[in-house]
Structure 1
Amino acid sequence: MEIYWNHNTAFHEELVDNAKLRGGRVLDIGCGDGLLLQRLAPFAGQVVGIDPDSQAIERARTRLAAVSNVTLVNGDFLTMPIPSHKERFSTVICVATLHHMDLRSALLKMKQVLAPGGRLLIIGLAADKSMLDFILSGLLLLPIRIMDRAHGGMRDPNVRIAEPKESITEIRRTVHEILPGAIVRRRFYYRYLISWDKPTDIH
């Protein structure tokens, strides 16, 4: 299957570089057609992708048919069983999927499935609600369009789309409550990054 570029895959390289520092087991929440899993697989002991969209999972199966260390799950992350301590994940990644779920429930579940000493990496979308949000989005419009053209244009697989509900301020507040010490930063392409390292004394 083809390799393509869009505002989500733009972050794949840095996510892979981050995950390969730890290796081990990696979970991709909302894996879609498996492109990120394909890129992660050479650097992990096992990669697991979960997505509620059965058609996306079938495309992922086709893409990853020759990859031996991948497991695909067609299901809802929020109802996924918590793995045993030895099977929890060194890296949990969630790209453009958090806004499809209840924010608090999803963050709590991500915290549970992450192994002590592991890292949670979320690339997400936030709603523009404040004047600052709208100003920043407006200022980014032209440079983002230029970057889109430089990469040959946006190409999106056939995936479910939902509008984000929470603003970056609301997301940051909830993240800091549930994941003390997490970093929340605005990023290019109308995205934000959440990065959190789970303390080794939390199980």
Structure 2
Amino acid sequence: MESQYCFHDELVADVKIRGGRVFDIGCGDGLLLHRLAPFAEQVVGIDPHKEIISRVQERLSSVSNVSLIYDDFLTMQIRERYDTIICVATLHHMDVRAALSKMHQILAPGGRILIIGLATNKSIMDYIISGLLLLPIRLMDRVHGGMKVIGVRTAEPKESLGEIRQVAHGILPGAIIRRRFYYRYSLVWNKPKDANENGIK
């Protein structure tokens, strides 16, 4: 199983409870958009790769509440606010500080950021934990089978989990960041309901 898909169930479950408007950064093959659509008022996916967006448009042509944007998240001007912002295996493709700051900006008061990210190993503890997880991950792959996502761009992460925590806590105070399986981490942050709206509509 492609590792990022392992977290789709919990992301869908969150949106199922909260509903509202959802923004998926780096929407990739559109599978998560498709699964989120029945539980959200509107789902918007953005990806900077034209060929990927074209394929997803075909795939989701019959889903009325999904919109797709072919653009760069960091440079695109976004005036709308969203109740949930999702970012799966995409944050390491961007400048972490700039990306988290923009997510904070476009998140509606009372909204939630949900990130499944990748970090690199830099400390001794990073390498120890990765080594301990290697065998169970390989066993899970054998049980579930492997699956490749064709055409989705990949990149190696540059920041360690400790570095990501440091940046995130400066921008998203109180964010909950946990090391997860498949060398991933999760970040969850709830924006206060009384947050300054900064003039975004």
Whether TM-score is above 0.5 comes out as yes
- 2:107 maps to what in 1? 114
One of 65, 88, 105 as aligned partner of 1:95: 88
| Cα deviation, residue 146, structure 1 | 1.1
SS of 2:18's equivalent in the other structure is coil
Contact 1:126 1:168 in 2 (8 A): yes
One of 20, 29, 36 as aligned partner of 1:33: 29
- 1:190 maps to what in 2? 183
- 2:50 maps to what in 1? 54
Q: Does 1:141 align with 2:134?
A: yes
Counterpart-to-counterpart distance in 2, 1:151 and 1:59: 26
Counterpart-to-counterpart distance in 1, 2:52 and 2:164: 27
SS of 2:179's equivalent in the other structure is strand
Task: Encode CA deviations 1:86-118: one digit per residue, 9 max, x unaligned.
Answer: x41110000000000001000000001110000
- 1:160 maps to what in 2? 153
One of 16, 21, 24 as aligned partner of 2:20: 24
Task: Encode CA deviations 1:146-186: one digit per residue, 9 max, x unaligned.
Answer: 11122121322321111101100000011001000110100
| Cα deviation, residue 67, structure 1 | 0.5
Q: Does 1:150 align with 2:143?
A: yes
Counterpart-to-counterpart distance in 2, 1:78 and 1:72: 16
Q: Which runs of 5+ in 1 are unaligned?
A: none
TM-score (norm 2): 0.95
Structure 1, 142-151 or 182-191: larger mean CA deviation: 142-151
- 2:173 maps to what in 1? 180
User: Which aligned runs of 4 or more in structure 1 are off by greater than 4 angstroms?
Assistant: none
- 2:10 maps to what in 1? 14
Counterpart-to-counterpart distance in 2, 1:89 and 1:80: 15
The amino acid of 2:174's aligned partner reads G
| Cα deviation, residue 82, structure 1 | 2.6
Q: Does 1:126 align with 2:119?
A: yes
The amino acid of 1:49's aligned partner reads G
SS of 2:154's equivalent in the other structure is coil
Counterpart-to-counterpart distance in 2, 1:190 and 1:63: 29
Contact 1:148 1:154 in 2 (8 A): no
Counterpart-to-counterpart distance in 2, 1:144 and 1:97: 21
Pairwise CA RMSD: 0.9
| Cα deviation, residue 19, structure 1 | 1.5
Percent identical among aligned pairs is: 66
Counterpart-to-counterpart distance in 2, 1:157 and 1:91: 27
- 1:79 maps to what in 2? 75
SS of 1:118's equivalent in the other structure is strand
Counterpart-to-counterpart distance in 2, 1:28 and 1:149: 30
